[in-house]
Each structure stands twice: as structure tokens, then as C-alpha cells.
Amino acid sequence: MRSRLAEHRDIEHLMQMRFDFTLEHNKELILTEKETEEYRNEAMQFLRRAIGSEQWFIWVAELEGRVVSHIFLEAVHKVPRPGRTTNPFLYMTNVYTLPAYRGQGVGSALLGHIEAWAKERKFEFVIVWPSEESVGFYGKSGYARCSEPMELMLS
């Protein structure tokens, strides 16, 4: 398995994986052709900006030249605080492995690679809001539950 940052040549595959992920977890969702096209346009614009930026880091796991897993990380920069160095943290989202490659250690290996990379770049921590079914996956890699955040829904 090869872990690497996503490149612009991966955009089509990343868009399809996001589409598949959404449908896998929402089987009742039926999109019109227009809605699908709107998604593709929005995703294309997002990925073009994100790849190579210093805000988003999209990691992929590649086997035999095929992207089989990905993890999106957004760098969150905190407001400086007197008396201590302020390092950014990472928000992890859109973690997905193709169904045929699950249970083979691909996702866990990608998490391990990201942990080493994040330590090297001096990020303070990684935060993820897991689904109930993914808690065990993250737990195996050392992630622990923390106090629940509060939210204000705006829409």
C-alpha cells in the first residue's frame, strides 16, 4: 500500500468515492440528474482549491495504482495565547475505504501514516466525530472519546 497526498489527477475518483459513501449511508437518497451535476460542480471546485492548499490535506491509500481509501484533514489555526506556542489542530472528515478493501488494515495503516505526518508537522491534535459504527475503528488506532462539543444549528 502506498500513502500519499491527493493530486489533481485523483479528483474524479475522489468525487465518485464521496458520492458512493453518501449513497452507502443513505440508501433512500435518490438524486436527479440536475442534483448530481450540481454535486459534481461543487465537489470539483472544492477539490481543485483544496488539493495543494495549506488548509486541506487529502490523504489517499493506493493499491496497484488504484485509490482505495481516503481521509480529508482540515488544518484549524487557533488564536494565539500568551505564554505558550499555539499550534494548529486537524479536523478529520470524509474517511472512506472502498467496501472490497475494508477489514484488511488499509484504513488503519492510513491513520498511522497520518499520525506520524501530523506529529512531524507539529499539529497539536486530531479531532474526528465518528459515527457509532466507526468508534471501534478509531479506538484501535488510539483515538479516545472526549467531551462532547456544543453546537448552534443555523439552518
Distance CA 151, CA 22 (A): 23
CA-to-CA separations, 84 to 50, 76, 94, 127, in angstroms, rounded: 30, 17, 32, 21
Structural domains in the chain? 2-140 (3.40.630.30)
Q: What share of the chain is helix, strand, coil (3-state, %, to 5)?
A: 40, 25, 35
Quick: pLDDT tens for 46-56.
Answer: 999 999 999 99
pLDDT at 146: 85
pTM for the full predicted model: 0.92
Residue 148 has pLDDT above 80, yes or no: no
